[in-house]
Each structure stands twice: as C-alpha cells, then as structure tokens.
Chain A
C-alpha cells in the first residue's frame, strides 16, 4: 500500500536584529556563556520587556515576501512552562493573534515548481541553552535567551521527505536573501520540527500525525521524515494504529524515539501578555517595508538566465546566497562578461571560499578585480587554465590580473605563423599517433593539443589552435 506522506514543517528562525527581542543585549553567536544577558532577559524580579521594533519589521518583510496577510493589530501572549533555560517560567510569544496568516512559499523540487501554503507567521523570544553533563548536572547559558525568533508554520502540504527538505532549503534561501536570518542550522539560527502522517490513497482518509523534534540539519530533517514515514507505514500495514505522540530524532542512532508522556504533555496556559501593548502596524510602515523588499531569489535566478544567458543550474547556485548573486552582478557591472564571470565564480571562487571556510563577503578580491580577470579571458589572452593560475596569483599577491599578465609576459599567441611551425613539429615527432588519428582514433587530438600547449608554454588560444591542428591533420591525410 503506497501511503501518501502528509508533512508540515514548523520552522523557527533567529532574526538578525542588533539586539534581543525585549532588551538591549547583543545577539552575537559564540560569546562566552552568560556574557550577553541583563536583568530583563535573566528574568530578575521586577523587570519588564520592551518590544524591539526592528524584530517586527524583519518579520513583516518575510510576511510580505510570501504573500501572508499581516494583522494590523496583533498581540503577544505568555506561553507558560518550567525549564531552567526559560528564566521567567514563560516565553513571550503570540497565540491567537499572530502577526500574519496565509501566504505560500514557492520553491523548486524534482524539476517542478512547488507551492506550500503558510498557515501562520508569528514573533517570539528564544530560550537559553542547556548543556547536560554526564554527572547528571546541567549548565545553563542564557546568551540565547531573548533572541528574537520568527516562527513559520506551514500547512501539511508537503508530500515527501525530499520535498520537505527542498521546502526548508527554499525557506532558508528566502530568509537569507531578505536579510532576516543567516539560515545557519549549525549555529541554531534555523530550527525545524515536523508533523507527519500518512494518507490512505484509496479512501483519501488522513491518518494520525506525530511530531518529530530535534532536527538539527537539513539532512536530519530528511532522514527523520524518511524514518517516520517508513515506521508509520509499517504500523499501518501490520494492521495497527499510529499513536499521536512526540518523537525525538537521534541523529547518531538514526532513529526517532518517543518522548516520555510527561515531557511532551504541556498545558501552556496561554494568556495575553499584560506587560506589552498591542503591536499596531500602520499602512505607511507596511508600504515602506514593501517598497524596500529585495528581489526574491527565484525571480532573480530566472532573470539571470534571461538577462545574462547563463545556464539555469548556474543561476540557481549563484542565487543561492544573496551575497554571491550581488557579487556576480557587480563583476558584470565592472565589465566582466556574463559567461566567463559565471565560470570563474562557480569554479574558482566557490572552491576558494570553501577551502578557506570564508563567505563571499570575506573574499579578498573585489568585483572589479575579478572582472579584470574575466575580461582577459574574454579577449582570448587567457585560457581557462592560465586564468586559474592568474587567479591564484591575484590572491597571493593582491595584484590585479592585468598587472600579473604583463609581468609574466603572457600574451595571446594566436598568430597562425607562430603556431603552424609548432604544429608541424608535434606532428612530425609523433608519426604513429598521426597515423592512428587518421585511421579513426580522433581522441588523439587531445594528445596533440597537450604536446602543443607544452611547447607553447601554456599560452595561446586553445580554440584557435585546435582549429589549426585539425586543418593540418586533415592535410596529412593525403
């Protein structure tokens, strides 16, 4: 029986505000424990929260980008429960009056365009972090406590674990593009819980859903969903019933285990937060945010294909991060050709960034510098291979491409009179290969090219040389 997975994702994204949701503490990742706290986020007696307006603005950007309906008046609520990393004993969140409802996230999966409906988007504060030690004690770091979050709940429109991963990717890309959230799951900037059930394809009946938590990477999300879909199918096939429960994903063990009933069963006793006034959003502010929305990644990728003639796959990668796409367009603006610039970025630049573990923002070469390199490729002065070398030298010396080319005396050798004698030399020195080539082993042209490039010290326009080589080889047929 091919049950149809019915999956919804709840994503928590840390908003990139300068300070916390309700106090002026910094939100930097990785600071020494409890160094970014104050009486307010520590939940001291007598303190009060004050809303960080930047938080609302960022969430509005997201809501507008996915077409959600933003409430003109929304309300904060207290979600009450006891845990050491929640100092007040309640989390300030939103309950029955969230910031926005509706809308949809569009993304690509399996070569098709997908659209998943958004149920709601709301604001809340993060809790601190607990570190459980082996000795049975726990350390609590409150740096993260009070960091602003936006919670994005999808409708259960996802129909496979792979699709869910693609949705998550698309959402991450959107958040990053909108400059709302870094999207870095490793640093906890993006967290995800999933709801899974199976639909009976014959009757159309929906099954009981379980919740899966502790998904700390994109891979975990997919793996955990695969696991749970498989498990539920097995239960149903054996004639059993799926029990509504919450499961914790264990990445190391590659399995999901039910949480103890007590851990999972919470009555949060929601009530409106009396310490905060209603969040009122005026038309003018909404228009301001709308007018300043950046170009969304999918639209941008399509435009790259249309405008620059690059391949859709290349556009996808370039638009995966706003910084990369921005850099690419800056290179073109500085005179680099679209195709060469794309190649340089997708191969050399990305490899370099990965090797160094840095981001495009930290990349040492400016767009005009890369444009200079791309231009030399466009003029035929540099082959791809030479360009690679020049690129490395630009990184080590900081000089621009033109300087390096001049210093090394690289110039395009495309002059037939210069090339032909060399071709003749190579063919004369390798008569048996020539004979084999002429009797059908056309792959040997690469052998000749290799010999030629060696003779020419790597210089020369490969396209032109190849043309001449073919012509000379054909001449030898006779």
Chain B
C-alpha cells in the first residue's frame, strides 16, 4: 500500500477518495487469495463505510485515519461481520456489537477491508490451526506466516492494507510480524480495551497493531488506546505523542543474556549483533544484563494461559450461538458432541491442560504457583528497567519455518514463543521490528522491550533504527 502520509496528501488535494483507496485494497486482497491471509471480505460494507468517511471529510471533519485501510483479525468483534476465531464451533456467527478498538478506529476514519486468518482462538504459532486452512508467508509461500495473527502479518507484508489488528497473548502479534518482516506491537496490558476481543487468556490478551512502518503503527495505536469503561482491566495513561524523533545518545539499551543462548539461529544472531554494534557507535549505552527468571516464563505462561482459556472457552457449547451438533439425545451429548466436533485438536489440548491445572487438588501446585512465578518475572523486569531504558532481544529463535514442519510436535511449537512470553507475563509493551533478511530472503527481526506504558519510546527507537541502522525492507 502507498504510505498513509501520501494517501492523506492526495485526499486533501482532492486527487483521490477513501472509496478509491478502499477499492484498491479490495482488488489487492482478491488478487492475493493464495496467501489465504484474508478470510472474509464484504466489499459492499467496506465501500459503504468508505463513502461515509468521504462524506464526513466533505463536511469538513478532520478524521486522523481517513485513507487508512485496516484488516481485523477474526477474533475481534465487528458489528455485522462474521466472528469465527477460525473455529468451526462459531459456525456462521455474526457479531451483534463492535469491539471498542474497532469502533474507535472507525470513528477516526479507518476503513475495514477484510478479516484476517488466524490460529483457532489464538492458540498457535503458525496459523496452521485454522478452519480456513493455513495462511502463507508472502516472502515464501511454502512457509508459515507465523501465528496466531498470521493473516494480519501476511496481509500487511503483502501490501493488502496499511495496518492490521492482531492479538497477542504470548507473542501472537510479534512472532508473525517477525516472520513476515513487518512491525508488530504488543501494547502494555490494559492499554487497549479488550471489550470485543474474544478472550483466550484474560490476564494476558491484548489487541496489537501490525504495520509497515512505525508512523502508521503509532497512528493506529493512538486512535484506539485508552481507558474503556466497558473493560475494568483497561488503564488510563497518557498517549505517546506523534513525534517519533529521539536523541539516541545516552539511551541505555539492555541485552538480557538469557535471550542470546543456544538455539538462536546464527543468521538472527549475526543481524542482532550487527545492530547492537551500530547502536553503540551511534552513542547508545548498550550493555549486557541478566534476567535469570526467563526460563520459567514458558511453563508459567502455558499454565496460566491454558487455565484461563479452559474457562473462557466454556461458553462455546452450541446452546445459544455457533454450531450445535446435529445428533444428540441428552444434554451431556449436546455439549460433548458440539465441542468435540467444533474445536480443533490444539484447542482441545489446551482446554484439557487448563482444566487440569485448575482442578481440585492441583490449583495450588499449578495455577497459583504459576501466578507467583509470573510476579517474580514481572518484578525482575521492573528492577532491570531501573538500570536500562529499553531492552533489545531477538523476537523468535528462528525465521519462518516450513508449513507442516512443527505440526507433529506441539511442544516444539510452544518453544518458538520463548522470547515473547516473558513480556506478556509481565504486561510490559513489546515491539518486533524487521532488521534484515536471511540468505534465503526470509525476514529477520528483533524485539524491543520497555517499561509499562513506554510504547512511545519503543516506537521512537524503532524509527531511529529504521533511519540510521541501514536495515530495512
């Protein structure tokens, strides 16, 4: 897609309309069907929304996101559009209401051009667990786009839209952003309202943004972040300003050694180390630090997330909405058959693990303990941020893997989240930025971490890196 800034100049100059921009996006989506990134498009609705934005502009209203085309992950509610979470169990459910984030973006003039493919209910790291089939990586269609927001990342990477909404519980915005070579932000927990985000793990979920450049990501973030009375866990905090300039000298950048151990792909290691050197030479204070609790993040995450998920997914029972089993004789059969037929295997695995972790006699040993470990991980981050301003880590241990490569080994799939889950547990903001390519042309990324509510600092640092560190797409 053409840069939003240029589109908005053309809009102001009367050389284009939002409707024309939206139509271009719809054409590109149709032409890119083989990526399987977009699973639902409603051209009439999209063009009608676009016309409405044009009318508001004619009337003299300033809409900060007019001209921005947006794709929404299929687990975020939008009134009148299907809401499937890539699961059969939701059948042909149409959402009766808007997620707050979507409503705010539409109010700011953004136009939704489609809904993105994903791993079922956000559970996966490859967008291969989807009722719509796998999404493909635009850089190499034999490889995964990442997950669970694979469709969102692929769409942005393929230029089908300016920005996309994804959701990040343990890395599901950042990892696909890394695999597809785009920017992906997981905001501070509580920054963006979860009202309308189909819950996977309530204490971890956040709506995140994927975009092709820091400016456009920031614009979307600013329009949708902020306290929502419909979400008690949302927080009031000042928005980052829209100026992305930063004076790097003296910026303290921590490198947690636990993220640079074995198992990191050599090409990723090479590119990050090159970046570290470049930043040092430009005046940043780059130093090694230690976050010793890092290795407990994955087990703590999977216990907390699966436990909360087992409860959040109880409502999908075929009784009120979605798909109900065709044959049943008793209530129990209605439940068992609807859920067995409707949920994919990965979802069932996690529900079972989560139910077990909460069951009588095990709560203390698993969920309660995992929450305590989580507290320690968070405290460790906060203590470290007393000494550094941001941290720089890889986003993933490896670049995009081949379709089907990790399907037989769920645990191997989980381990690809090793660098992203700690920030989720701590609730701190995290931004994945593209920094290079492998020899095969696969995107390489790094991750910036900051204290709570420091999205502005992360995006400024990302912009600086984009301008001065010689990597870019």
Q: Are A46 and B315 in contact (CB under 8 A)?
A: no
B76 contacts partner chain A, Cβ-Cβ < 8 Å: yes
Q: Chain A contacts of B355 at CB under 8 A? A: 269
Q: Are B311 and A43 in contact (CB under 8 A)?
A: no
Q: Are B315 and A277 in contact (CB under 8 A)?
A: no
As a 0/1 sequence over residues 451 to 464 of chain B, the CB contacts with chain A under 8 angstroms (1 = contact) are: 00000000000000
A317 contacts partner chain B, Cβ-Cβ < 8 Å: no
A277 to B190, CA, bound (A): 12
A271 to B316, CA, bound (A): 20
B317 contacts partner chain A, Cβ-Cβ < 8 Å: yes
Give B281-321 interface residues, CB cut-off 8 Å to A: 307-308, 310-311, 313-317, 319-321
B230 contacts partner chain A, Cβ-Cβ < 8 Å: yes
As a 0/1 sequence over residues 32 to 60 of chain A, the CB contacts with chain B under 8 angstroms (1 = contact) are: 00000001001111111111000000000
Q: Chain A contacts of B194 at CB under 8 A? A: 48
Residue from A39, A44, A277 having most chain B Cβ neighbours under 10 A = A44
Q: Are B315 and A271 in contact (CB under 8 A)?
A: no
Q: How far is the CB of B228 from chain A (nearest CB, A)?
A: 9
- Partner of B358 from the list A51, A87, A88, A271 (CB cut-off 8 Å) is A271
As a 0/1 sequence over residues 205 to 242 of chain B, the CB contacts with chain A under 8 angstroms (1 = contact) are: 00000000000000000000000011111000000000
In the complex, how many residues of chain B place their beta carbon closer than 8 angstroms to a beta carbon of chain A? 44
Q: Are B93 and A45 in contact (CB under 8 A)?
A: yes
Q: Are A277 and B317 in contact (CB under 8 A)?
A: no
A419 to B307, CA, bound (A): 91
B99: nearest chain-A partner, CB-CB: A46
A44 to B321, CA, bound (A): 8
B97 contacts partner chain A, Cβ-Cβ < 8 Å: yes
Q: Chain A contacts of B90 at CB under 8 A? A: 45
Interface stretch (choices B196-204, B268-276, B395-403, B440-448): B196-204
Q: How far is the CB of B372 from chain A (nearest CB, A)?
A: 13
A327 contacts partner chain B, Cβ-Cβ < 8 Å: no
Q: Are A46 and B311 in contact (CB under 8 A)?
A: no
Also in contact, A48 and B230, with CB within 8 A (given A269-B360, A271-B311): yes
A140 to B320, CA, bound (A): 10
Q: How far is the CB of A167 from chain B (nearest CB, A)?
A: 31
B438 contacts partner chain A, Cβ-Cβ < 8 Å: no
Q: Chain A contacts of B358 at CB under 8 A? A: 80, 269-271
Q: Chain A contacts of B423 at CB under 8 A? A: none
Q: Are A89 and B95 in contact (CB under 8 A)?
A: no
B334: nearest chain-A partner, CB-CB: A84
B234: nearest chain-A partner, CB-CB: A48
Q: How far is the CB of B327 from chain A (nearest CB, A)?
A: 15
As a 0/1 sequence over residues 331 to 373 of chain B, the CB contacts with chain A under 8 angstroms (1 = contact) are: 1000100000000000000000001001110010001000000
Q: How far is the CB of A78 from chain B (nearest CB, A)?
A: 6
Q: Are A84 and B331 in contact (CB under 8 A)?
A: yes
Q: How far is the CB of B203 from chain A (nearest CB, A)?
A: 4
B329: nearest chain-A partner, CB-CB: A136
A66 contacts partner chain B, Cβ-Cβ < 8 Å: no
Give B75-102 interface residues, CB cut-off 8 Å to A: 75-77, 83, 85, 90, 93, 95-97, 99
B129 contacts partner chain A, Cβ-Cβ < 8 Å: no
Also in contact, A82 and B233, with CB within 8 A (given A45-B95, A46-B196, A269-B358): no
A402 contacts partner chain B, Cβ-Cβ < 8 Å: no
Q: Chain A contacts of B367 at CB under 8 A? A: 271
B195 contacts partner chain A, Cβ-Cβ < 8 Å: yes
Q: Chain B contacts of A384 at CB under 8 A? A: none
Also in contact, A39 and B96, with CB within 8 A (given A80-B314, A88-B315, A271-B367): yes
A274 contacts partner chain B, Cβ-Cβ < 8 Å: yes
Q: Chain B contacts of A90 at CB under 8 A? A: 311, 314
Q: Are A46 and B83 in contact (CB under 8 A)?
A: yes
Q: Are B232 and A275 in contact (CB under 8 A)?
A: yes
In the complex, how many residues of chain A place their beta carbon closer than 8 angstroms to a beta carbon of chain B? 29
As a 0/1 sequence over residues 83 to 115 of chain A, the CB contacts with chain B under 8 angstroms (1 = contact) are: 010011110000000000000000000000000
Residue from B76, B316, B320 having most chain A Cβ neighbours under 10 A = B320
Q: Chain B contacts of A46 at CB under 8 A? A: 75-77, 83, 95, 99, 195-199
A47 to B359, CA, bound (A): 25
A274 to B200, CA, bound (A): 12
A185 contacts partner chain B, Cβ-Cβ < 8 Å: no
- Partner of B319 from the list A44, A84, A276 (CB cut-off 8 Å) is A84
Q: Are A50 and B321 in contact (CB under 8 A)?
A: no
Q: Are A45 and B83 in contact (CB under 8 A)?
A: yes
A254 contacts partner chain B, Cβ-Cβ < 8 Å: no
A276: nearest chain-B partner, CB-CB: B232
Q: Are B314 and A82 in contact (CB under 8 A)?
A: yes
A270 to B331, CA, bound (A): 23
A89 to B233, CA, bound (A): 21
A49 to B199, CA, bound (A): 12
Q: How far is the CB of B437 from chain A (nearest CB, A)?
A: 37
Q: Are A87 and B315 in contact (CB under 8 A)?
A: yes
Q: How far is the CB of A36 from chain B (nearest CB, A)?
A: 16
Also in contact, A275 and B314, with CB within 8 A (given A46-B197, A267-B359, A269-B359): no
Known: A43-B315, A89-B315, A90-B314. 19 other contacts (CB 8 A): A39-B96, A39-B97, A45-B95, A45-B316, A46-B83, A46-B95, A46-B195, A46-B196, A46-B197, A47-B196, A48-B232, A49-B232, A50-B230, A50-B232, A90-B311, A269-B358, A270-B363, A274-B308, A275-B232
A binding-site residues for B, Cβ under 8 Å: 39, 42-51, 78, 80, 82, 84, 87-90, 138, 140, 267, 269-271, 274-277
Closest 10 CB pairs of A and B: A89-B314, A274-B202, A269-B358, A274-B203, A45-B198, A46-B77, A267-B360, A43-B315, A46-B198, A46-B196
Q: Could you give 24 example pairs across A and B, Cβ below 8 Å?
A: A39-B97, A44-B95, A44-B97, A45-B77, A45-B90, A45-B315, A46-B76, A46-B99, A46-B196, A48-B231, A48-B232, A48-B233, A80-B311, A82-B314, A82-B335, A87-B315, A89-B315, A138-B331, A269-B360, A269-B363, A271-B358, A275-B199, A275-B231, A276-B232
